[in-house]
Chain A
Amino acid sequence: MKPPAFEYVRVGTTEEAVAELARDGEDTKLLAGGQSLMPMLNMRLAMPRRLIDLNRVGELEYIREREDGVAIGAMTRQRAVEKSALVARQVPLLADAMPWVGHFQIRNRGTIGGSLAHADPAAELPAVAVCLDARVTVRGPEGSRTLTSEQLYRSYFTTTLASTEILTEIWFPAPPARTGHAWLEFARRHGDYALVGVAAAVTLRDESIAEARLALTGVGGRPTRARDAERRLVGRRGSDAVLEDAADSVRQTIQPASDIHGTAEYRRRLAGTLTVRALRLAIERAGRAPSRTT
Protein backbone atom coordinates (compact mmCIF):
# COMPACT_ATOMS: atom_id res chain seq x y z
CA MET A 1 0.00 0.00 0.00
CA LYS A 2 2.16 2.84 -1.28
CA PRO A 3 1.09 5.92 -3.21
CA PRO A 4 1.69 6.10 -6.93
CA ALA A 5 4.30 8.56 -8.22
CA PHE A 6 3.15 12.15 -8.54
CA GLU A 7 4.58 15.57 -8.94
CA TYR A 8 4.45 17.61 -5.74
CA VAL A 9 3.85 21.35 -5.70
CA ARG A 10 3.91 23.30 -2.48
CA VAL A 11 2.16 26.65 -2.50
CA GLY A 12 2.22 29.44 0.10
CA THR A 13 -0.81 31.48 -0.87
CA THR A 14 -4.27 30.97 -2.25
CA GLU A 15 -3.30 32.95 -5.27
CA GLU A 16 -0.42 30.62 -6.01
CA ALA A 17 -2.67 27.63 -5.58
CA VAL A 18 -5.23 29.02 -7.98
CA ALA A 19 -2.48 29.85 -10.45
CA GLU A 20 -1.01 26.35 -10.21
CA LEU A 21 -4.43 24.81 -10.79
CA ALA A 22 -5.00 27.09 -13.75
CA ARG A 23 -1.58 26.36 -15.19
CA ASP A 24 -1.95 22.59 -15.09
CA GLY A 25 -5.03 21.26 -13.40
CA GLU A 26 -5.35 18.00 -15.25
CA ASP A 27 -5.25 14.96 -12.94
CA THR A 28 -4.34 17.30 -10.11
CA LYS A 29 -5.46 16.87 -6.54
CA LEU A 30 -5.38 19.44 -3.77
CA LEU A 31 -3.79 18.13 -0.60
CA ALA A 32 -5.36 19.67 2.49
CA GLY A 33 -5.27 17.67 5.74
CA GLY A 34 -4.91 14.52 3.70
CA GLN A 35 -6.84 12.34 6.11
CA SER A 36 -9.10 11.09 3.33
CA LEU A 37 -6.90 11.67 0.31
CA MET A 38 -3.82 9.93 1.69
CA PRO A 39 -5.58 6.59 2.35
CA MET A 40 -6.93 6.75 -1.19
CA LEU A 41 -3.45 7.39 -2.51
CA ASN A 42 -1.96 4.60 -0.40
CA MET A 43 -4.55 2.19 -1.74
CA ARG A 44 -4.05 3.63 -5.22
CA LEU A 45 -7.75 4.37 -5.47
CA ALA A 46 -6.66 7.88 -6.45
CA MET A 47 -3.86 8.19 -9.01
CA PRO A 48 -3.28 11.90 -9.51
CA ARG A 49 -0.42 13.07 -11.65
CA ARG A 50 0.08 16.18 -9.54
CA LEU A 51 -0.52 17.11 -5.94
CA ILE A 52 -0.79 20.73 -4.81
CA ASP A 53 -0.09 20.95 -1.11
CA LEU A 54 -2.11 23.68 0.60
CA ASN A 55 -0.67 23.08 4.06
CA ARG A 56 1.56 26.14 3.95
CA VAL A 57 -1.25 28.48 2.94
CA GLY A 58 -1.38 30.22 6.31
CA GLU A 59 -3.88 32.81 5.12
CA LEU A 60 -6.54 30.08 5.01
CA GLU A 61 -6.16 29.20 8.67
CA TYR A 62 -8.43 31.37 10.77
CA ILE A 63 -11.62 31.44 12.80
CA ARG A 64 -13.20 34.90 12.83
CA GLU A 65 -16.44 36.47 13.92
CA ARG A 66 -18.04 38.08 10.91
CA GLU A 67 -21.52 39.35 9.84
CA ASP A 68 -23.28 37.83 12.82
CA GLY A 69 -21.63 34.52 12.26
CA VAL A 70 -18.30 32.80 12.15
CA ALA A 71 -16.01 32.55 9.14
CA ILE A 72 -13.51 29.72 9.10
CA GLY A 73 -10.61 29.45 6.69
CA ALA A 74 -10.63 26.24 4.68
CA MET A 75 -7.22 25.11 5.96
CA THR A 76 -8.18 25.48 9.60
CA ARG A 77 -7.52 22.20 11.38
CA GLN A 78 -10.62 20.46 12.67
CA ARG A 79 -8.97 20.26 16.08
CA ALA A 80 -8.71 24.06 16.18
CA VAL A 81 -12.40 24.36 15.34
CA GLU A 82 -13.18 21.81 18.04
CA LYS A 83 -11.28 23.80 20.65
CA SER A 84 -12.48 27.24 19.56
CA ALA A 85 -14.44 29.13 22.20
CA LEU A 86 -15.89 31.33 19.46
CA VAL A 87 -17.25 28.31 17.62
CA ALA A 88 -18.65 26.86 20.82
CA ARG A 89 -20.46 30.11 21.49
CA GLN A 90 -21.63 31.04 18.01
CA VAL A 91 -21.95 27.74 16.14
CA PRO A 92 -22.78 25.23 18.84
CA LEU A 93 -23.96 22.62 16.34
CA LEU A 94 -20.53 22.59 14.75
CA ALA A 95 -18.91 22.32 18.16
CA ASP A 96 -21.28 19.47 18.99
CA ALA A 97 -20.45 17.54 15.83
CA MET A 98 -16.71 18.13 15.76
CA PRO A 99 -15.65 15.44 18.26
CA TRP A 100 -17.45 12.88 16.10
CA VAL A 101 -15.14 13.52 13.17
CA GLY A 102 -12.74 10.58 13.22
CA HIS A 103 -10.32 10.56 16.14
CA PHE A 104 -8.40 13.45 17.61
CA GLN A 105 -5.23 12.50 15.72
CA ILE A 106 -7.25 12.73 12.50
CA ARG A 107 -8.63 16.11 13.55
CA ASN A 108 -5.13 17.34 14.31
CA ARG A 109 -4.45 17.19 10.58
CA GLY A 110 -7.87 17.18 8.96
CA THR A 111 -9.14 20.55 7.82
CA ILE A 112 -12.65 21.89 7.72
CA GLY A 113 -12.37 22.79 4.06
CA GLY A 114 -10.91 19.42 3.16
CA SER A 115 -13.76 17.59 4.80
CA LEU A 116 -16.38 19.77 3.10
CA ALA A 117 -14.78 19.46 -0.32
CA HIS A 118 -14.21 15.71 -0.05
CA ALA A 119 -18.01 15.29 0.01
CA ASP A 120 -18.06 11.97 1.76
CA PRO A 121 -21.76 11.11 2.01
CA ALA A 122 -21.27 9.74 5.53
CA ALA A 123 -19.23 12.65 6.90
CA GLU A 124 -20.39 14.93 9.67
CA LEU A 125 -19.34 18.41 8.55
CA PRO A 126 -21.23 18.57 5.24
CA ALA A 127 -24.48 17.76 7.06
CA VAL A 128 -23.77 20.40 9.69
CA ALA A 129 -23.09 22.96 6.97
CA VAL A 130 -26.25 22.05 5.08
CA CYS A 131 -28.32 22.12 8.25
CA LEU A 132 -27.19 25.66 9.08
CA ASP A 133 -27.26 26.99 5.51
CA ALA A 134 -23.58 27.76 5.84
CA ARG A 135 -22.06 29.71 2.95
CA VAL A 136 -19.02 28.48 1.11
CA THR A 137 -16.55 30.73 -0.65
CA VAL A 138 -14.59 29.33 -3.55
CA ARG A 139 -11.88 30.93 -5.57
CA GLY A 140 -11.00 30.27 -9.16
CA PRO A 141 -9.15 31.99 -11.98
CA GLU A 142 -12.11 34.35 -12.43
CA GLY A 143 -12.11 35.37 -8.76
CA SER A 144 -14.27 34.39 -5.84
CA ARG A 145 -17.86 33.27 -5.64
CA THR A 146 -20.09 32.25 -2.79
CA LEU A 147 -22.58 29.42 -2.75
CA THR A 148 -24.79 27.79 -0.20
CA SER A 149 -23.55 24.55 1.19
CA GLU A 150 -26.47 22.72 -0.38
CA GLN A 151 -25.35 24.04 -3.75
CA LEU A 152 -21.90 22.63 -3.07
CA TYR A 153 -22.90 18.98 -3.13
CA ARG A 154 -23.68 16.99 -6.21
CA SER A 155 -23.36 13.32 -5.33
CA TYR A 156 -21.08 10.71 -3.76
CA PHE A 157 -17.68 12.34 -3.30
CA THR A 158 -18.59 14.95 -5.89
CA THR A 159 -19.04 18.70 -5.49
CA THR A 160 -20.11 21.35 -7.94
CA LEU A 161 -16.69 23.01 -7.83
CA ALA A 162 -14.87 23.42 -11.10
CA SER A 163 -11.51 21.65 -11.37
CA THR A 164 -9.83 25.06 -11.25
CA GLU A 165 -11.55 26.18 -8.07
CA ILE A 166 -10.50 26.01 -4.45
CA LEU A 167 -12.80 26.12 -1.46
CA THR A 168 -11.35 28.91 0.69
CA GLU A 169 -13.82 29.66 3.44
CA ILE A 170 -16.98 28.56 5.13
CA TRP A 171 -19.22 30.95 6.98
CA PHE A 172 -21.71 29.76 9.57
CA PRO A 173 -24.51 32.06 10.70
CA ALA A 174 -24.94 32.53 14.42
CA PRO A 175 -28.21 31.05 15.63
CA PRO A 176 -31.24 33.19 16.40
CA ALA A 177 -32.26 33.57 20.03
CA ARG A 178 -33.87 30.58 21.76
CA THR A 179 -32.28 28.11 19.40
CA GLY A 180 -31.09 24.69 20.42
CA HIS A 181 -28.87 22.34 18.45
CA ALA A 182 -28.02 18.70 18.48
CA TRP A 183 -25.73 16.42 16.54
CA LEU A 184 -26.41 12.73 17.01
CA GLU A 185 -24.95 9.87 15.12
CA PHE A 186 -24.72 6.16 15.37
CA ALA A 187 -21.59 4.43 14.12
CA ARG A 188 -20.39 0.86 14.41
CA ARG A 189 -17.39 1.96 16.49
CA HIS A 190 -16.43 5.19 18.11
CA GLY A 191 -14.79 7.38 15.49
CA ASP A 192 -16.15 5.55 12.45
CA TYR A 193 -18.14 7.24 9.76
CA ALA A 194 -21.74 7.37 10.86
CA LEU A 195 -24.22 4.76 9.72
CA VAL A 196 -26.59 7.68 10.06
CA GLY A 197 -26.04 11.12 11.55
CA VAL A 198 -28.59 13.84 12.23
CA ALA A 199 -28.05 17.56 12.67
CA ALA A 200 -30.93 19.46 14.22
CA ALA A 201 -31.44 23.14 15.01
CA VAL A 202 -34.70 24.26 16.53
CA THR A 203 -35.80 27.82 17.35
CA LEU A 204 -38.69 28.29 19.74
CA ARG A 205 -41.21 31.06 19.97
CA ASP A 206 -43.28 30.84 23.09
CA GLU A 207 -43.70 27.09 23.42
CA SER A 208 -43.88 26.37 19.71
CA ILE A 209 -41.30 25.63 17.11
CA ALA A 210 -40.66 28.76 15.08
CA GLU A 211 -38.02 27.24 12.87
CA ALA A 212 -36.56 23.79 12.51
CA ARG A 213 -33.57 22.68 10.52
CA LEU A 214 -32.76 19.07 9.99
CA ALA A 215 -30.00 17.51 7.91
CA LEU A 216 -28.82 13.94 7.71
CA THR A 217 -25.67 12.14 6.71
CA GLY A 218 -25.24 8.54 5.62
CA VAL A 219 -28.66 8.32 4.01
CA GLY A 220 -27.86 9.06 0.38
CA GLY A 221 -25.28 10.37 -2.01
CA ARG A 222 -25.07 13.82 -0.38
CA PRO A 223 -25.97 15.47 2.86
CA THR A 224 -29.74 15.53 2.95
CA ARG A 225 -31.84 18.41 4.21
CA ALA A 226 -35.17 17.09 5.49
CA ARG A 227 -37.31 20.04 4.41
CA ASP A 228 -40.64 18.28 4.58
CA ALA A 229 -39.94 17.22 8.15
CA GLU A 230 -38.91 20.77 8.98
CA ARG A 231 -42.19 22.10 7.61
CA ARG A 232 -44.16 19.59 9.62
CA LEU A 233 -42.55 20.91 12.80
CA VAL A 234 -43.07 24.62 12.36
CA GLY A 235 -45.80 26.14 14.48
CA ARG A 236 -46.22 23.02 16.59
CA ARG A 237 -45.05 22.04 20.02
CA GLY A 238 -42.39 19.39 20.29
CA SER A 239 -44.59 16.60 21.53
CA ASP A 240 -43.72 12.95 20.95
CA ALA A 241 -46.36 12.75 18.24
CA VAL A 242 -44.99 15.79 16.43
CA LEU A 243 -41.44 14.47 16.55
CA GLU A 244 -42.61 11.09 15.34
CA ASP A 245 -44.40 12.82 12.47
CA ALA A 246 -41.12 14.49 11.48
CA ALA A 247 -39.34 11.15 11.76
CA ASP A 248 -41.97 9.58 9.51
CA SER A 249 -41.25 12.18 6.92
CA VAL A 250 -37.53 11.52 7.18
CA ARG A 251 -38.01 7.78 6.84
CA GLN A 252 -40.17 8.27 3.78
CA THR A 253 -38.01 10.77 1.95
CA ILE A 254 -34.47 9.46 2.36
CA GLN A 255 -32.93 6.91 0.06
CA PRO A 256 -30.20 5.13 1.95
CA ALA A 257 -28.17 2.26 0.52
CA SER A 258 -27.36 -1.15 1.97
CA ASP A 259 -23.86 -2.25 2.77
CA ILE A 260 -22.16 -4.81 4.99
CA HIS A 261 -22.74 -2.66 8.07
CA GLY A 262 -26.46 -2.23 7.71
CA THR A 263 -29.38 -2.58 5.37
CA ALA A 264 -31.13 0.37 3.76
CA GLU A 265 -34.17 -0.49 5.87
CA TYR A 266 -32.03 -0.35 8.99
CA ARG A 267 -30.63 3.05 8.07
CA ARG A 268 -34.14 4.28 7.44
CA ARG A 269 -35.25 3.18 10.89
CA LEU A 270 -32.12 4.55 12.47
CA ALA A 271 -32.66 7.89 10.73
CA GLY A 272 -36.14 8.06 12.24
CA THR A 273 -34.87 7.18 15.71
CA LEU A 274 -32.03 9.68 15.60
CA THR A 275 -34.31 12.37 14.19
CA VAL A 276 -36.61 12.07 17.18
CA ARG A 277 -33.72 11.98 19.62
CA ALA A 278 -31.90 14.90 18.02
CA LEU A 279 -35.02 17.05 17.84
CA ARG A 280 -35.87 16.30 21.43
CA LEU A 281 -32.39 17.28 22.55
CA ALA A 282 -32.38 20.42 20.41
CA ILE A 283 -35.77 21.50 21.75
CA GLU A 284 -34.65 20.89 25.31
CA ARG A 285 -31.54 22.99 24.68
CA ALA A 286 -33.59 25.71 22.98
CA GLY A 287 -35.73 25.88 26.08
CA ARG A 288 -32.62 26.59 28.09
CA ALA A 289 -31.04 28.94 25.55
CA PRO A 290 -30.92 32.67 26.27
CA SER A 291 -33.66 34.69 24.62
CA ARG A 292 -31.01 36.92 23.07
CA THR A 293 -27.72 35.86 21.68
CA THR A 294 -24.77 37.99 22.57
Chain B
Amino acid sequence: MTPPEIAITVHVNGRSYAERVPPRLLLSDFLRHHLGLTGTHVGCEHGVCGACTVLLDGAAVRSCLLLAVQTDGAQITTVEGLAGDGERLHPLQEAFREMHGLQCGFCTPGFLLTAVELLRDTPHPDDLTIRRDLAGNLCRCTGYQNIVHAVRRAAELMGRR
Protein backbone atom coordinates (compact mmCIF):
# COMPACT_ATOMS: atom_id res chain seq x y z
CA MET B 1 0.00 0.00 0.00
CA THR B 2 2.81 2.36 0.81
CA PRO B 3 4.15 3.71 -2.48
CA PRO B 4 7.73 2.62 -3.14
CA GLU B 5 10.64 4.86 -2.27
CA ILE B 6 12.38 6.58 -5.15
CA ALA B 7 16.10 6.99 -5.63
CA ILE B 8 17.28 10.55 -6.17
CA THR B 9 20.60 12.33 -6.42
CA VAL B 10 20.66 15.91 -5.27
CA HIS B 11 23.56 18.34 -5.19
CA VAL B 12 23.38 20.47 -2.08
CA ASN B 13 25.90 23.17 -1.31
CA GLY B 14 28.32 21.57 -3.76
CA ARG B 15 28.03 18.06 -2.36
CA SER B 16 26.12 15.20 -3.97
CA TYR B 17 23.71 13.06 -2.01
CA ALA B 18 22.18 9.84 -3.30
CA GLU B 19 19.16 8.91 -1.21
CA ARG B 20 15.96 6.92 -1.37
CA VAL B 21 12.91 8.91 -0.39
CA PRO B 22 9.16 8.37 -0.12
CA PRO B 23 7.33 10.31 -2.86
CA ARG B 24 5.53 12.52 -0.35
CA LEU B 25 8.63 13.67 1.48
CA LEU B 26 8.85 17.46 1.40
CA LEU B 27 12.12 19.01 0.28
CA SER B 28 12.25 20.92 3.57
CA ASP B 29 12.10 17.68 5.55
CA PHE B 30 14.58 16.00 3.23
CA LEU B 31 17.13 18.75 3.80
CA ARG B 32 16.54 18.94 7.52
CA HIS B 33 16.03 15.37 8.55
CA HIS B 34 17.65 13.25 5.85
CA LEU B 35 20.68 15.45 5.16
CA GLY B 36 20.89 17.04 8.61
CA LEU B 37 20.94 20.55 7.14
CA THR B 38 18.82 22.05 9.87
CA GLY B 39 19.58 25.65 8.90
CA THR B 40 16.56 25.58 6.60
CA HIS B 41 13.63 26.27 8.91
CA VAL B 42 9.97 25.43 8.63
CA GLY B 43 7.47 28.03 9.73
CA CYS B 44 4.12 27.34 8.12
CA GLU B 45 4.27 24.52 5.58
CA HIS B 46 1.79 26.30 3.38
CA GLY B 47 4.03 28.62 1.47
CA VAL B 48 3.37 31.91 3.23
CA CYS B 49 6.17 32.54 5.72
CA GLY B 50 9.21 31.90 3.53
CA ALA B 51 11.36 30.54 6.39
CA CYS B 52 12.12 27.44 4.33
CA THR B 53 13.39 29.34 1.29
CA VAL B 54 16.33 27.71 -0.52
CA LEU B 55 17.88 28.23 -3.93
CA LEU B 56 16.85 25.58 -6.44
CA ASP B 57 19.04 25.82 -9.51
CA GLY B 58 19.69 29.40 -8.43
CA ALA B 59 16.08 30.46 -7.90
CA ALA B 60 14.61 31.19 -4.48
CA VAL B 61 11.80 28.74 -3.74
CA ARG B 62 9.74 27.50 -0.80
CA SER B 63 11.17 24.10 0.09
CA CYS B 64 7.92 23.19 1.89
CA LEU B 65 6.09 23.37 -1.44
CA LEU B 66 8.36 20.97 -3.24
CA LEU B 67 8.69 17.23 -3.04
CA ALA B 68 12.17 15.92 -2.58
CA VAL B 69 11.67 13.62 -5.57
CA GLN B 70 11.15 16.65 -7.78
CA THR B 71 14.68 17.85 -7.11
CA ASP B 72 16.42 14.79 -8.52
CA GLY B 73 19.49 16.08 -10.32
CA ALA B 74 19.04 19.65 -9.11
CA GLN B 75 21.51 22.05 -7.50
CA ILE B 76 20.35 23.35 -4.16
CA THR B 77 21.87 26.03 -1.95
CA THR B 78 20.86 26.29 1.68
CA VAL B 79 21.98 28.81 4.27
CA GLU B 80 24.81 26.47 5.24
CA GLY B 81 26.21 26.86 1.75
CA LEU B 82 26.11 30.61 1.61
CA ALA B 83 29.44 31.48 3.19
CA GLY B 84 31.45 28.44 2.30
CA ASP B 85 33.66 26.77 4.86
CA GLY B 86 35.95 29.67 5.70
CA GLU B 87 35.75 32.11 8.58
CA ARG B 88 34.39 34.78 6.33
CA LEU B 89 30.66 35.40 6.12
CA HIS B 90 28.77 36.12 2.91
CA PRO B 91 28.27 39.90 2.51
CA LEU B 92 24.59 39.45 3.23
CA GLN B 93 25.39 37.66 6.47
CA GLU B 94 27.90 40.35 7.39
CA ALA B 95 25.36 43.06 6.65
CA PHE B 96 22.64 41.34 8.68
CA ARG B 97 25.00 41.29 11.64
CA GLU B 98 26.15 44.85 11.19
CA MET B 99 22.63 46.24 10.85
CA HIS B 100 20.99 44.00 13.50
CA GLY B 101 18.85 42.37 10.83
CA LEU B 102 18.02 39.36 12.97
CA GLN B 103 16.72 38.71 16.43
CA CYS B 104 15.65 35.14 17.12
CA GLY B 105 17.26 34.08 13.86
CA PHE B 106 14.54 31.61 12.88
CA CYS B 107 13.30 33.40 9.77
CA THR B 108 16.80 34.62 8.88
CA PRO B 109 17.96 31.82 6.55
CA GLY B 110 14.88 32.36 4.39
CA PHE B 111 15.49 36.09 4.23
CA LEU B 112 19.14 35.58 3.32
CA LEU B 113 18.38 33.27 0.40
CA THR B 114 15.57 35.50 -0.80
CA ALA B 115 17.97 38.43 -0.70
CA VAL B 116 20.55 36.52 -2.75
CA GLU B 117 18.18 36.46 -5.70
CA LEU B 118 16.93 39.98 -4.98
CA LEU B 119 20.45 41.39 -5.25
CA ARG B 120 21.31 39.26 -8.23
CA ASP B 121 18.29 40.65 -10.08
CA THR B 122 18.63 44.19 -8.72
CA PRO B 123 22.18 44.92 -7.57
CA HIS B 124 21.30 48.47 -6.50
CA PRO B 125 17.78 48.25 -5.17
CA ASP B 126 15.85 51.12 -3.66
CA ASP B 127 13.99 50.55 -0.39
CA LEU B 128 10.65 49.92 -2.06
CA THR B 129 12.15 47.21 -4.24
CA ILE B 130 13.75 45.63 -1.22
CA ARG B 131 10.54 45.71 0.76
CA ARG B 132 8.48 44.36 -2.14
CA ASP B 133 10.86 41.48 -2.76
CA LEU B 134 11.13 40.66 0.94
CA ALA B 135 7.36 40.67 1.36
CA GLY B 136 7.23 36.93 0.76
CA ASN B 137 9.12 36.31 4.00
CA LEU B 138 7.59 36.85 7.41
CA CYS B 139 9.54 38.01 10.42
CA ARG B 140 7.92 38.38 13.81
CA CYS B 141 10.83 39.98 15.67
CA THR B 142 12.45 42.80 13.72
CA GLY B 143 9.62 44.81 12.19
CA TYR B 144 11.68 44.37 8.97
CA GLN B 145 13.38 47.76 9.21
CA ASN B 146 16.83 46.46 9.97
CA ILE B 147 16.45 43.66 7.45
CA VAL B 148 15.76 46.26 4.78
CA HIS B 149 18.80 48.22 5.94
CA ALA B 150 20.89 45.06 5.94
CA VAL B 151 19.99 44.24 2.35
CA ARG B 152 20.82 47.80 1.36
CA ARG B 153 24.13 47.49 3.18
CA ALA B 154 24.86 44.14 1.54
CA ALA B 155 24.32 45.75 -1.86
CA GLU B 156 27.02 48.26 -0.93
CA LEU B 157 29.38 45.56 0.29
CA MET B 158 28.85 43.42 -2.79
CA GLY B 159 29.27 46.39 -5.09
CA ARG B 160 32.64 47.00 -3.50
CA ARG B 161 33.94 43.48 -4.04
Give the B-binding residues of A (Cβ under 8 A): 1-8, 10, 31, 34-35, 38-39, 41-43, 51, 53, 55, 79, 102-106, 108-109, 189-191
Shortest distance in angstroms between B108's beta carbon and chain A's nearest beta carbon?
16
30 contacts between A and B (CB under 8 A): A1-B46, A2-B26, A2-B45, A3-B67, A6-B24, A7-B3, A8-B6, A8-B69, A34-B66, A34-B67, A35-B47, A38-B65, A38-B67, A39-B46, A41-B24, A42-B45, A55-B70, A103-B133, A103-B136, A104-B117, A104-B136, A105-B50, A105-B60, A105-B62, A108-B59, A109-B59, A109-B62, A109-B65, A189-B135, A191-B136
The interface size of chain B toward A, counting residues with CB under 8 Å, comes to 31
Closest to B134 in A: A103
Contact of B23 among A8, A42, A190 (CB under 8 A): A8
Besides A5-B24, A39-B45, 8 new A-B residue pairs in contact (Cβ under 8 A), listed by A number: A2-B26, A34-B66, A38-B64, A42-B46, A43-B46, A103-B133, A105-B61, A106-B136
Closest to A83 in B: B121
- Work out how many contacts link A and B, with CB atoms closer than 8 A: 94
Q: Given the known inter-chain contacts A8-B67, A34-B65, A38-B47, please indicate yes or no for A104 contacting B23, CB distance below 8 A.
A: no
Q: Which chain A residues lie closer than 8 Å to B65 at the CB level?
A: 34-35, 38-39, 42, 109
Please determine whether B69 and A38 come into contact, CB atoms closer than 8 angstroms: no
Please determine whether B132 and A105 come into contact, CB atoms closer than 8 angstroms: no
Closest to B65 in A: A38
Counting chain B CB atoms within 10 Å of each CB, the highest count among A1, A31, A35, A109 belongs to A109
Q: Which chain A residues lie closer than 8 Å to B45 at the CB level?
A: 1-2, 39, 42
Q: Which chain A residues lie closer than 8 Å to B66 at the CB level?
A: 34, 38, 109
B93 in the interface, Cβ–Cβ < 8 Å? no
Closest to B59 in A: A108
